[in-house]
Structure 1
Amino acid sequence: MLVRHGERLKVVIKMVFYFESTLVSPAVTLFMGFDKHENEELIRWGWPEDVWFHVDKVSSAHVYLRLRPGQTIDDIPAAVLEDAAQLVKANSINGNKMNDIDIVYTMWANLKKTPGMEVGQVGFHKEKEVRKLKVSKRVNDAVNRLNKTKKEENPDFRAEREKRDRMEREDKKKVLREKADKEKEEEKKKREESELRSYSTLMSNDNMSKYDDGNDSDDFM
């Protein structure tokens, strides 16, 4: 992205940090923006499958977990929740120094952004859908383990979201096509069965006419 700075154009690189939570198999990825500007982009171009984590009432990094298709927030393993909480706490200037803090988390779709909010600031559409996790203290072993997996990347948030949406639309179209094909096949099968029943009835009536000579007597003499 190009931003005008004085008379020059300055290239702004979007940096995101990725971490691996290896306490579960397969490992899951946690990610966060470099600063509030990346957080703003993540808020704007997040996925419906993303779970957002933040220190409650204290400035901190915005950490995300991307669920697999079909998963819900209830499917997150306790170990992954703890890793996300420790990562958020460790990346909060004040939260990192505090004990017994709450980590809030909710689905990305529940994040609310209004025009008057500062860069990186969010609210919620439904408070009842925000969950809390108590963290008594920083666990250095967990933070160090996560930091060893840290990678820096420069993703195109918009392109990734648009690709995700395009694939979702294609999948839905495929499901609809398969459903329509199945309905056509079932309708064809019903017609064939109906035609077969009609033909069988016709043949039965023809046979009755063939062997009925109009004489009710059993005497052939």
Structure 2
Amino acid sequence: MGKDKVENEDLIRWGWPEDVWFHVDKMSSAHVYLRLNAGQTIDDIPSSVLDDCAQLVKENSILGKKTNNVDVVYTMWSNLKKTPSMEVGQVGFHNDRDVRKIRVEKRINEVVNRLKKTQVIKENVDLRAEREERDRKEREKAKAVEKERKQREKEELKRKEELAKLRSYESVMKVANMKSNKDCESDDSDDFM
């Protein structure tokens, strides 16, 4: 979660493709990010986690904190759109159909207090370095997968070549092993009958 609009700007810029962004709809609020595990989608988020994120966003909105029946919007980080004409911390969306809403009727003190107790504040976080490290690891994984795919293709080609050799007459049909009728000695006796 960003502590102010400048930090929100860094979060917008250096978010991860696995991040889900949360914000109070049509009000100023903190930007809250939920990082999904590999292979998870926005549809896999448990409702209890959605509720926690929505409560956290509501709690960190000056106007939303005081208001009941607040809508919280959320979408994948990759759907956030930032143009040069936008103010610091302001975002739009590439595709409005990929934006979802959850209604927060009122503040649930137990949830907010639990989240505050488990809150970890990190100072001097280098979001760019974290993103670059993540991207480097992803590239390494992709290279390893590609290397393994090429190795499997190479082994399959070798196996096919060996199979083709076994099926051919190449090993049997050598000039040194060949004889013709002319090469056979004849003793003028006909053993045929």
What is the TM-score of this pair, normalised by structure 2? Answer: 0.87
Question: 1:157 — aligned with what?
Answer: 127
Between the aligned partners of 1:180 and 1:110, the Cα distance in structure 2 is: 34
Deviation at 1:101, TM superposition (A): 1.1
Between the aligned partners of 1:199 and 1:132, the Cα distance in structure 2 is: 71
Deviation at 1:202, TM superposition (A): 4.0
Question: 1:105 — aligned with what?
Answer: 74
Question: 2:107 — aligned with what?
Answer: 138
Mapping 1:81-92, distance limit 5 Å? 81-92=50-61
Residue deviations 1:147-178, cap 9 Å, x none?
A: 11011113101100111111111111111111
Number of residue equivalences? 180
The structure that is strand-richer by fraction is: 1
Question: 1:195 — aligned with what?
Answer: 165
Mapping 1:39-188, distance limit 5 Å? 39-154=8-123, 155-188=125-158
Percentage identity across paired residues of the two chains: 67
Between the aligned partners of 1:199 and 1:54, the Cα distance in structure 2 is: 73
Question: 1:17 — aligned with what?
Answer: none
Between the aligned partners of 2:192 and 2:115, the Cα distance in structure 1 is: 102
Between the aligned partners of 1:124 and 1:100, the Cα distance in structure 2 is: 23
Deviation at 1:187, TM superposition (A): 0.2
Amino acid in structure 1 at the alignment position of 2:54 = A
Between the aligned partners of 1:198 and 1:111, the Cα distance in structure 2 is: 61
Mapping 1:4-19, distance limit 5 Å? none
Amino acid in structure 2 at the alignment position of 1:49 = E
Deviation at 1:220, TM superposition (A): 6.8
Amino acid in structure 1 at the alignment position of 2:69 = D
Between the aligned partners of 2:84 and 2:7, the Cα distance in structure 1 is: 17
* Secondary structure, counterpart of 1:152 in structure 2: coil
Aligned Cα root-mean-square deviation (Å)? 2.1
Deviation at 1:35, TM superposition (A): 0.8
Amino acid in structure 2 at the alignment position of 1:177 = K
What is the TM-score of this pair, normalised by structure 1? Answer: 0.76
Between the aligned partners of 2:9 and 2:73, the Cα distance in structure 1 is: 18
Structure 1 segments of 4+ aligned residues over 3 angstroms from their partners: 199-203
